């Protein structure tokens, strides 16, 4: 369709928007675990696994937002989200809508996509590789 034919030229910017907005949402998961911000009913003592997840989500989210080491960080975070899904969500119920795991699945596959596609525009990786 002619209306959409020219959109391909904006692919690097669209990829950057996906990367940055996903990273900003992911950072919230880390800050909630590490600093109870935004405030949550789930706040409690950090176990080793929760602490590790919080650090990965906070630090990994910042690196992704900046577009720094995008491919390896995204691959690591995709793995974290797969583990989170199968350990925390899947045992509750088979269906993601019922077990609260839809965001973990979405994060997993967006991060997996970023591992293959790279950072797009507006990324520090582009300066590092130049």
Q: Which residues of the chain have pLDDT under 70?
A: 43, 129-130
Q: Quick one: pLDDT at residue 108?
A: 98
Q: What percent of the chain has pLDDT over 90?
A: 88
Closest CA to 128 of 52, 71, 85: 71
Give residues with Cβ within 8 angstroms of 58, minimum separation 6. 27, 30, 31, 33, 34
pTM (2 d.p.):
0.93
Give residue limits of the domains in the chain: 13-128
Q: What does the block give as tokens for 96?
A: 């993601």
SS3 for 16-50 is: HHHHHHHHHHHHHHHHHHHHCCCCCCCCCCCCHHH
Residue 79 sits at the vertex; the CA angle it makes with 109 and 118, to the nearest 5 degrees, is 55
């Amino acid at each position: 369709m002619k209306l959409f034919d020219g959109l391909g030229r904006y692919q690097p910017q669209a990829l950057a928007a996906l990367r940055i907005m996903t990273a900003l949402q992911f950072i919230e998961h880390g800050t909630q675990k590490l600093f109870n911000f935004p405030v949550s009913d789930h706040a409690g003592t950090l176990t080793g696994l929760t602490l590790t997840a919080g650090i990965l989500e906070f630090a990994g989210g910042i690196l992704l937002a900046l577009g720094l080491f995008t491919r390896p960080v995204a691959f690591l975070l995709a793995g974290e989200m797969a583990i989170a899904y199968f350990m925390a969500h899947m045992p509750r119920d088979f269906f993601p809508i019922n077990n609260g795991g839809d965001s973990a699945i979405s994060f997993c596959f967006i991060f997996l996509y970023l591992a293959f596609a790279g950072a797009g525009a507006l990324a520090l990786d582009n300066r590092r590789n130049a």
